[in-house]
A and B are shown apart, each in its own frame.
Chain A
Amino acid sequence: MEAYFSQIAAVVDRALVAGERHATWFSAEQSDFVRMNRGKVRQPGRVVQRYVDIRLIRGERHATHSLSLTGDLAADTRSIVDAITGLRSALPELAEDPHLLLPSVIASSSTTRGGAMPSADAMVETILGAANGQDLVGLLAAGPVYRGFCNSEGQRNWHATTTFNLQWSLYHRTDKAIKSTYAGFAWDDAELQRRMVSAVERLALISRPPKSLQPGKYRAYLAPGAMEEIASLLCWGGFSGRALATQQSALARLKGEARLDSRVSISEDTAGGVAPAFQAEGFARPSQIALIADGALVGSLVSPRTAREFDLQANGANAYEIPESLTMAGGALPERDALAALDTGLAIGNLHYLNYSDRPACRMTGMTRFATFWVENGRVVAPVDVLRFDDTIYRMLGDKLEALTAERELLLESNTYGSRMLTSVTLPGALLSEMQFTL
């Protein structure tokens, strides 16, 4: 695919006329998707897709055309030339863009991760065999994902990863289930078996008679899977340089006197994630950007446009200024001691469907989901019927934060809207002395 990308880059270069520049983003994948339900196969298939986003620039005027490609170079050359011709005709009627910022240095790179894997249908045989008749529902997504960048100055960036991501749930009944994941670069039948056995063991806990709790305040332990949902919501504009500058960030109060607990440190850790180290306009991403340090806001993600608009320093952020490799520092609590430290309260494995109930106050609401248990004296007593929480980040990761686990979990993004994502979060669990539940 890298050779094909090079050919596409050359086609775009050749299509330019004097005075024109381009900045071009490439994304492609060959994905096997196998959807499963009731321990059977619901929808298996393969998707092969290639897209190129061509930005044509003349002076301060520019426009972009996003184009699907077929993989046939002759056909794709025609499409690209047509697209550039269309952009060329559009530029004169567009205004000059005061916020256009392009890289001033050429920084080429090439990264390839992952390699040979079993065929997806062989993986499915292993998965369903391991499930052994359990009510398994989930998705296997596997295959190579590619990202590339090229421009008329000769910069070339390439990022290829071949991964699998299996997300599955074993259901006891109705909404009582254990959710598990197995994702990475090298598939191992034995590791899948081990994780399936663990899921079946936990299924026994979720099969106990459930406990219904009244709304109120409870001690809570948020496992990394639950913290992922909170982090994902914060990523929705929270760390955006533009959203912070225009007071729209949910973390805007951190610009004032508000602080999180001093043990909370969050950064964008490109070096530790799976996302490419370049963004769609060709800017390189630093290996790490500190966002919150010791509870205080110390940085933000700044896209090239935001840099021009607000006179900030661009730092490789994407156009939406959303973290792609968010990481949160761990604490001192050994994960194996988390339930003992919780003593009596809620052990929350997953949260669901979070949103802001008061964005400026960073008050968020959402539901417990999957493995959420009532714990007494450090021992699991019963699964808990779903509860709605509604609380602020300044309480949950502020004065109500009791401990963070020493161990952290790398969680690869499982959403596949339009394409397989190359984003991840690395998070500890969090023990809260109090969390507010409302329904």
Chain B
Amino acid sequence: MPFDGPLPSFDLNADFWSLRFVEETSEAFCVRKNVPQPLALSTDRGVMASVYVDGGYGYAATADTSPAGLREALARAADWARATARHALSDSRALPRPAPRGDYASPSVDSPLPSRGEWFDLLRRVAAEAGCDPRIVDWEALAEVRHATQRLVTSEGGNVVQRFRFVFPSLAVTAHADGVTQRRSLNGHRGICQQGGVEILDRFGFADSGRRIAEEALELLTAPNCPSGRMDVLLAPDQMVLQIHESVGHPLELDRILGDERNFAGTSFVTPDMFGTYRYGSELLNITFDPSRPEELASYAFDDDGTRAERSYLIRNGILERPLGGAISQARAGLAGVANARADNWNRPPIDRMANLNLEPGDASFDELVASIEQGVMMETNISWSIDDSRNKFQFGCERGRVIENGKLGHVVKNPNYRGISANFWRSLARVGNADTLRVLGTPHCGKGEPSQVIRVGHATPACVFAGVDVFGGEN
């Protein structure tokens, strides 16, 4: 695999070319209802060739990384560029021709990991604690470790090698009794997802989480439905992640704003003229694109088009400043953006994606957040998400709620849901938790694009309070 050393020479009549090599390996361990599931390994290697010719652009992806395979891929990409040049949406002669040089490595990327036997032993212990009651009808403890290496080489002399290690521990239980079914998980479906090593497990108390998660699921079985009405909500970080992702991240993707996604994921209520002046949220809202937080899932030094990644404010004191747009989208829109042109694998071309999209902490302690609410609900852990194709009208649901009355946390409620409109919702941001309330979470499953892609996204966020939200519960 050509991850280091020189590449063969290419006799290609092109304005620009790049080769992006990707290798990912994974090991997945799972114990379901105390039964170890089959070990699952994967190895995926390939290369994406991109070429600019005569104002056109084309790509070709192959797992054949031999010199002949690379030449064939470049030639195929050039053929596509020539064949469609007269229909090209952007004149590739006007696009940047990057020559990045550098490298990146995840924190503790080479540190020792548990053996396979040790992984299964850990998961057995967690699962045994989770399956502690006959009303727990299903439970699963899982851990996945992925290593990825990417090398980007360009015709302008660019050469970047980035090495990643991702760890995904997960725990979920389902409780059922008397016709009621409730699910509880540790920070949601694959919500714990970071770069690094075994320290990630300790950071989230994974080894000791089984009984707590099970007991919370059992508590939900007899809990009343979430109350309905307009009230304040306190969203825990494992729901804030979803709120940021769906109603800030996706609407700010510049390719959506430029219309590329309108046939599939949708458009955006944000338009290019809003940047610099539009009040997206209250003055407490500060959103950053931050690829520099080491443990966060989507930290990197360069994006997949070769742009150096740097921390930038997208929203500062509530005012919209810049979109999530990579170099090509920036050139198309005439707007400054960030280094977020990303592909989920060697067989997909880069498009504008979230990476690490964070809500900066404020100054309120958790107790102060609770104390600020006269009547409301605290909601934890996303379980349901739906939003319109302009990323405006949303409805989200959580696994667990607790009523708040007169500044104090009260009883647990099941099926907490809320709905709103992005363009208004963030303006009701009333309090922002301090760094003590912040959690570094994310999702490995952000879907988008034609052809479709699933990519890893990080979100670091404190708990937050929103005023006057439309809250409701389940069917009965």
Could you tell me if A252 and B474 are in contact, using CB atoms closer than 8 angstroms?
no
Given contacts A246-B137, A386-B390, contact A45 B42 (CB under 8 A): no
Could you tell me if B419 and A438 are in contact, using CB atoms closer than 8 angstroms?
yes
Chain B residues lying within 8 Å of A367, measured Cβ to Cβ, are: 386-389, 393
Min CB–CB distance B151 → chain A (angstroms): 16
Select which of B43, B90, B397 is within 8 A of A357 by beta carbon.
B397
Given contacts A70-B69, A388-B395, contact A64 B41 (CB under 8 A): yes
Could you tell me if A43 and B59 are in contact, using CB atoms closer than 8 angstroms?
yes
Could you tell me if B36 and A357 are in contact, using CB atoms closer than 8 angstroms?
no
Chain B residues lying within 8 Å of A66, measured Cβ to Cβ, are: 40-44
Q: Which residue of A lies closest to B49 (CB)?
A: A45
Chain A residues lying within 8 Å of B87, measured Cβ to Cβ, are: 40-41, 124, 128
CA distance A36 to B261 in the complex (A): 10
Could you tell me if A94 and B36 are in contact, using CB atoms closer than 8 angstroms?
yes
One digit per residue, 1 when the CB lies within 8 angstroms of any chain B CB and 0 when it does not, for chain A 34-71 equals: 11111011111111111100010000001111111111
Which of the candidate stretches A189-197, A328-336, A348-356, A422-430 sits at the interface with the other chain?
A348-356
Q: Of A46, A86, A124, A309, which is in contact with the most chain B CB atoms at under 10 Å from its CB? A: A46
CA distance A358 to B472 in the complex (A): 11
Could you tell me if A355 and B385 are in contact, using CB atoms closer than 8 angstroms?
yes
Could you tell me if B88 and A41 are in contact, using CB atoms closer than 8 angstroms?
yes
Could you tell me if B263 and A169 are in contact, using CB atoms closer than 8 angstroms?
yes
Range for the number of chain B residues in contact with chain A: 35 or more
Chain A residues lying within 8 Å of B56, measured Cβ to Cβ, are: 41
Flag whether A179 is at the interface (Cβ < 8 A): yes
Flag whether A248 is at the interface (Cβ < 8 A): yes
Could you tell me if B46 and A417 are in contact, using CB atoms closer than 8 angstroms?
no
Flag whether B13 is at the interface (Cβ < 8 A): no
Could you tell me if B88 and A40 are in contact, using CB atoms closer than 8 angstroms?
yes
Flag whether B266 is at the interface (Cβ < 8 A): yes
Min CB–CB distance B51 → chain A (angstroms): 10
Flag whether A432 is at the interface (Cβ < 8 A): no
CA distance A64 to B183 in the complex (A): 29
Select which of B42, B59, B385, B474 is within 8 A of A44 by beta carbon.
B59
Flag whether B347 is at the interface (Cβ < 8 A): yes
Chain B residues lying within 8 Å of A355, measured Cβ to Cβ, are: 384-386, 397
Q: Which residue of B lies closest to A62 (CB)?
A: B38
Flag whether A174 is at the interface (Cβ < 8 A): yes
Could you tell me if B384 and A43 are in contact, using CB atoms closer than 8 angstroms?
no
Could you tell me if A70 and B66 are in contact, using CB atoms closer than 8 angstroms?
yes
Select which of A42, A44, A365, A415 is within 8 A of B83 by beta carbon.
A44
CA distance A171 to B266 in the complex (A): 12
Could you tell me if B116 and A360 are in contact, using CB atoms closer than 8 angstroms?
no
Select which of B46, B69, B76, B84 is within 8 A of A49 by beta carbon.
B46
Flag whether B62 is at the interface (Cβ < 8 A): yes
Select which of A40, A309, A360 is within 8 A of B89 by beta carbon.
A40
Q: Which residue of A lies closest to B182 (CB)?
A: A360
Could you tell me if A70 and B389 are in contact, using CB atoms closer than 8 angstroms?
no
Could you tell me if A41 and B84 are in contact, using CB atoms closer than 8 angstroms?
yes
Q: Which residue of B lies closest to A352 (CB)?
A: B389
CA distance A95 to B264 in the complex (A): 43
Could you tell me if A98 and B35 are in contact, using CB atoms closer than 8 angstroms?
yes
Chain A residues lying within 8 Å of B117, measured Cβ to Cβ, are: 93
One digit per residue, 1 when the CB lies within 8 angstroms of any chain A CB and 0 when it does not, for chain B 243-286 equals: 00000000000000011101110110000000000000000000
Chain B residues lying within 8 Å of A93, measured Cβ to Cβ, are: 115-117
A161-201 residues at the B interface, CB under 8 angstroms: 167-169, 171, 174-175, 177, 179
Select which of A31, A43, A65, A167 is within 8 A of B263 by beta carbon.
A167
Flag whether B240 is at the interface (Cβ < 8 A): no
Q: Which residue of A lies closest to B451 (CB)?
A: A416
Could you tell me if B61 and A47 are in contact, using CB atoms closer than 8 angstroms?
yes
Could you tell me if B61 and A46 are in contact, using CB atoms closer than 8 angstroms?
yes
Flag whether B354 is at the interface (Cβ < 8 A): no
Given contacts A138-B263, A246-B138, contact A50 B63 (CB under 8 A): yes
Given contacts A33-B451, A99-B35, contact A177 B262 (CB under 8 A): yes
Could you tell me if A64 and B474 are in contact, using CB atoms closer than 8 angstroms?
no
B417-476 residues at the A interface, CB under 8 angstroms: 417, 419, 421, 447, 450-454, 474-476
Q: Which residue of A lies closest to B89 (CB)?
A: A40
CA distance A179 to B179 in the complex (A): 41
Min CB–CB distance B127 → chain A (angstroms): 13
Flag whether A83 is at the interface (Cβ < 8 A): yes
Flag whether B364 is at the interface (Cβ < 8 A): no
B36-60 residues at the A interface, CB under 8 angstroms: 36-46, 56-60
B387-405 residues at the A interface, CB under 8 angstroms: 387-390, 393, 395, 397
Given contacts A246-B138, A392-B475, contact A65 B43 (CB under 8 A): yes
Chain A residues lying within 8 Å of B262, measured Cβ to Cβ, are: 37, 137, 169, 171, 177
Flag whether B289 is at the interface (Cβ < 8 A): no
One digit per residue, 1 when the CB lies within 8 angstroms of any chain B CB and 0 when it does not, for chain A 79-94 equals: 1000100110010011
Q: Of A45, A69, A356, A361, which is in contact with the most chain B CB atoms at under 10 Å from its CB? A: A45
B341-388 residues at the A interface, CB under 8 angstroms: 345, 347-349, 351, 384-388
Select which of B64, B120, B347 is within 8 A of A95 by beta carbon.
B120
Could you tell me if A44 and B38 are in contact, using CB atoms closer than 8 angstroms?
no
Flag whether A213 is at the interface (Cβ < 8 A): no
26 A-B pairs (CB sep. < 8 Å): A35-B450, A35-B451, A41-B87, A41-B88, A43-B59, A47-B61, A48-B62, A51-B44, A63-B40, A71-B62, A83-B41, A94-B38, A94-B120, A97-B35, A137-B260, A139-B450, A169-B262, A247-B174, A248-B181, A353-B386, A353-B388, A355-B384, A357-B417, A386-B389, A388-B386, A438-B419
The 4 closest A-B CB pairs, nearest first, are A45-B59, A361-B475, A139-B450, A416-B451
Given contacts A43-B59, A252-B181, 18 further A-B contacts (CB under 8 A): A41-B84, A44-B59, A48-B64, A63-B40, A69-B63, A71-B63, A75-B66, A94-B38, A97-B38, A171-B259, A309-B35, A357-B384, A357-B395, A358-B415, A386-B390, A388-B419, A417-B454, A439-B419
